[in-house]
Amino acid sequence: MPFDAHDHLVPGTVTPERQVPRSITRPPYVGLQTPPPYAGDNTYSDAEVARIRAAGRIASGALDAVGEAVRPGVTTEELDRVAHEFVIAAGAYPSTLGYRGYPKSSCTSVNEVICHGIPDDTVLREGDIVNVDITAYLDGMHGDTNRTFRVGRVSTEVDQLVERTHEAMMRGIKAARPGRQVNIIGRVIETYAKRFGYGVVRDFTGHGVGAAFHTGLIIPHYDSAPRYDDVISAGMVFTVEPMLTLGTHEWEMWDDDWTVTTRDKSITAQFEHTVLITESGFELLTVSE
């Protein structure tokens, strides 16, 4: 039973890992407990950005396919199948599969799950929301993105949370300009979220991405100044992925060491793009063709 008597999500049954054709190149961390250390920085040449963009388009296309499959009665396991098959059909590897032991090709976070929900036999119901996070690895680069989908019709309160979380992400991205510190992103996001009384999750952040799934650069979504003072420069690539809640920003983790929920079980939404900083602004690298 994926929901308890209080209508809160509980762990379901997780099936074995999906197979990836041998012809598809694996990221270097597959089969390891921890990824190899990343020695590069967070800026990329035009040729490298083109490779990140190609991976990002695959991840975005996979989310398009998943979005078409979201409906009452579908399982999160089925959504993962759709994501997995789209990514490998494009010749890419689903980056989450085997990352630090993660067992699936996407993350599916339902209702009060903030992030890293593992796809299982949970059946989505009318009025639920589900965030699906997909990263594709192609030609040595990762493209990372997620969206929150409404399952049928949702309440006005939840609908507004979803819409405003997307707006918060875009406001944060638009604030990221060369010469500013990365903490400007979180300041803008939290200022907007506070207008509606939303919780802003602090401990799960955006990150540098590209040649590594997570480079070590941290992009906070709350006003963290003076911490996280890395200076933004043209050519930088990172994710912006705010998680807003209808209640607390505090969280707890399931025994699977992955699934993170709001401590008060309030509903939470998230959106994410991989972003390139340009001399004049930004480019979203995780959009469909």
Distance CA(119)–CA(81), nearest Å, equals 9
* pLDDT of the residue at 2: 83
* pLDDT of the residue at 150: 98
DSSP 3-state of 208: strand
E strand intervals along the chain: 93-94, 107-110, 113-115, 129-138, 141-150, 199-200, 206-207, 218-219, 237-240, 243-245, 251-253, 260-262, 268-270, 273-277, 282-284
Consecutive sets of 10 residues in the chain, 289 residues long: mean pLDDT of each? 85 96 98 94 97 98 98 98 98 98 98 98 98 98 98 98 98 98 98 98 98 98 96 98 98 97 98 97 94
For residue 74, what are its two tokens?
């579908």
For residues 223 and 200, is the Cβ–Cβ distance under 8 A? no
* pLDDT of the residue at 215: 97
For residues 154 and 160, is the Cβ–Cβ distance under 8 A? no
Single pTM value for the model: 0.97
For residue 167, what are its two tokens?
């707006």
Distance CA(38)–CA(216), nearest Å, equals 8
